[in-house]
Amino acid sequence: MPQTVPTAAGYSPSFDYSTFQFDLSLLPEDYSPVGDQLGLKSSQIKQEACSPRPGSPTIYQSPPYQNGDLSLSPNYSHEGSSPGYPTSPYYVPRSPQSAQFYPISPEPSAKQPVKREKSLDLLAILQESRLLAESLGYREDSTDCTVPCTPPRSEEDIYNSLDADFLPKKEDTGVQAHPLLKEILFKEEPRSVSSNGSSSSSSSSTSSSTSSSPSPSCEFESNGSALRELLFKGVTRKENLGEMPDKLSELKVERSQEELVNPLQKEEQLFKDGQKSDHQLLREVLRDTSFQRKYNLRPVDLGGVGTGYVEDMEAGECVGDLAREQLEPVLSLAIQQLQKDFDNTCVALGIHPEPRRWSAADVAAWVQWARRQLQLPLVPLESFNVDGATLAALTEEEFCQRAPQCGSMLHAQLEIWKAAVEESPRNTLAASWSPAGVVQSPSSAVASPTIGNTTTTGNLKESPCTVDFSDDEDEDCASGQGASGGSAGGGKMRNGGSHIHLWQFLKELLQSPSVHGSCIRWLDRGKGVFKIEDSVRVARLWGKRKNRPAMNYDKLSRSIRQYYKKGIMKKTERSQRLVYQFCHPYCL
């Protein structure tokens, strides 16, 4: 099994499409919510969690969701208008794999109404993925240390693959690149059609279609229904779908004007008058419905509860097979990418994928990670001095009590995390993870990052070995530590640690400043900036570890530079000799 080190944004050469399968288990029906109060349902959170990674940070504008900016790629022009089909909730074309969970679009030949089949909230999934990626540290500000758990290579592959599959290649010129996925993930669709699938809705097309300014909420409102409830819970919760159009029109006109002025203010205004503004993260995730029409994703009536059920759909509303074929890989990519994101975050943080198995230290690590990724205000860590089981059982209100400023965000993030992890049968990391952080899988590809776990967790799980090995024995000790994951788990690394990654090895050295401080040291631990003081010696140590007597700094630095493309390291803001910088979360 190949070594699976997350790669950086935008450089990946290839993506293995063949591995994708639509993971139905990601869309469970029996999810037991934690803190499910008004509006936000855990099942929806789960669906949202199964979402793709959004844009490459250097290419796409990611709205700073934290401050409520709803701008979603305003410069990206919409093209193509799919044949009219009902809008509103979210329809996913049926496929052999996914049919049981998707509202079935009856084939012309089979004119039987489909009743109460569970639908997949595509919009939620795709949108959530974008913000989730940001929450995972993926920002367009590529100069910052923001390449996280997410393997950017895969992300880029998604884009490349999508382009290759669905659209002619375009020049990779900033926002012009990867139009399709961008369209799916970011662009708002100004027009919408009525929910009964028979005719286009004129009410929703006027304000937004004529404006290039971002107005995702308009589109959202025009689609109404469950998402509306989700995002504006309490405001429209009692509205059923049939009542929507009028109120939506009013709201839309009023809001669209505000949006032209200041989306942020509009957002705030919408939620004032006593309306809760919690679930901010998820709300912002669920704004864009543009891809529905573009890819023949027919919304379905989610019903008054907004659970994604469809009732009595009429025959003849089938979606083209081509659209299905196109959507499937998109969703598969999205889900797989998200799963990979979480896996990699677990690796980087050195925590078990399953939150309920977290120790108090794991919880602290996760909270710190979430705070950083979500750019949350100060989180009182002492309020979260609980184990994972306790944390997972906390309701949103309890989160808010413990962290008044950002409890809701943290709670939402944890819900997403839990949904993604728990519902992923392919989560081999969770399956193979041991409490000591030792991956028991014989696969070196899994075991390798585990080394990073113990090292990256640093003070949380630091092995005595890391602070205690001498110069010439350090490789042995370090390799032993790497192999054992900092515990007595015995060597999991084959060949006496030869499988260790260079970046892991460097972090090992960096974690023993008393021993190796003379040859490599942190310049800015928080940012992951370090300096190689003695290139010859570091290269020698590395060559010793890898049993490469001919290793020198030239080769070592070449390997380090390879990490630029993989998103493990990056060039420092100001180029300095022998100074490198880990990308987040590798610097943790």
Q: Applying CB under 7 A, which part among 317-325, 338-346, 464-472, 572-580 lies near DNA? A: 572-580
The only residue of 501, 507, 540, 584 in contact with DNA, by rule CB under 7 A:
501
Name which of 101 and 530 has its Cβ closer to DNA. Answer: 530
Question: Does residue 518 touch DNA according to CB under 7 A?
Answer: no
Residue with tokens 């987040």: 584
Residue 401, CB half-sphere, CA atoms under 13 Å: how many? 7
Residues 6+ apart with CB under 8 A from 430: 346, 352, 353, 354, 421, 424
Residues in 424-463 at the binding interface with DNA, rule: CB under 7 A: 444
Q: Interaction with DNA in 9-48: which residues (CB under 7 A)?
A: 13-14, 16
Q: How far is the CB of 74 from DNA (least distance, A)?
A: 31
Query: Helix H segments across 52-193?
Result: 122-135, 152-166, 179-185
Restricting to residues 230-249, which ones interact with DNA according to CB under 7 A? none
Name residue 569's beta-bridge partners.
582
Structure token pair of residue 76: 């990206």
- 159 lines the binding site for DNA (CB under 7 A): no
Report the alpha-carbon distance of residue 216 to residue 70 in Å, rounded: 7
The count of chain residues that interact with DNA, using the rule CB under 7 A, is: 39
Sole binder of DNA in the list 369, 469, 553, 582 (CB under 7 A): 553
Q: How far is the CB of 501 from DNA (least distance, A)?
A: 3
**Cβ neighbours for 81, distance < 8 A, ≥ 6 positions apart:** 191, 293
* Binding test (CB under 7 A) with DNA, winner from 495, 513, 517, 518: 495
**C-beta separation of 77 from 215 below 8 A:** no
What's the min distance (Å) between Cβ of 138 and DNA?
A: 18
Token pair of 212 as six digits = 């290039």
Tell me: does residue 540 bind DNA (CB under 7 A).
Answer: no
When asked if residue 5 is in the footprint of DNA (CB under 7 A), the reply is yes
- In the chain, the amino acid numbered 429 is L
Contacts of range 170-179, beta carbons closer than 8 Å, 24 or more positions apart: 172/59, 174/58, 174/59, 175/59, 175/60, 175/61, 175/73, 175/75, 175/76, 177/56, 177/59, 178/55, 178/56, 178/59, 179/76
Q: Is 575 in the site for DNA (CB under 7 A)?
A: yes
- Does 340 interact with DNA (rule: CB under 7 A)? no
Query: For residue 370, what are its two tokens?
Result: 């979430």
Q: Is 242 exposed, middle or buried (0-12, 13-18, 19+ CB in 10 A)?
A: exposed
Give least dist CB 545 to DNA, A. Answer: 8
* Nearest-approach distance from CB 233 to DNA, in angstroms: 42
- Kindly state the helix (H) or strand (E) to which residue 582 belongs, with its residue range: strand 579-582
Q: Shortest approach of DNA to residue 134 CB, angstroms? A: 23
Nearer to DNA, 334 or 451 (CB): 451
For position 279 contacting DNA by CB under 7 A, the verdict is no
542 binds DNA (CB under 7 A): yes
Please choose, out of 52-60, 118-126, 284-292, 558-566, the segment that lies near DNA by the rule CB under 7 A. Answer: 558-566
Supply the minimum distance, in Å, between the C-beta of residue 345 and DNA: 17
Beta-carbon neighbour count of residue 243 at 10 Å? 12
Interacting residues with DNA (CB under 7 A): 2-5, 7, 13-14, 16, 444, 494-495, 499, 501-503, 535, 542-543, 546, 548, 550-551, 553-559, 561-564, 566, 571, 575, 577-579
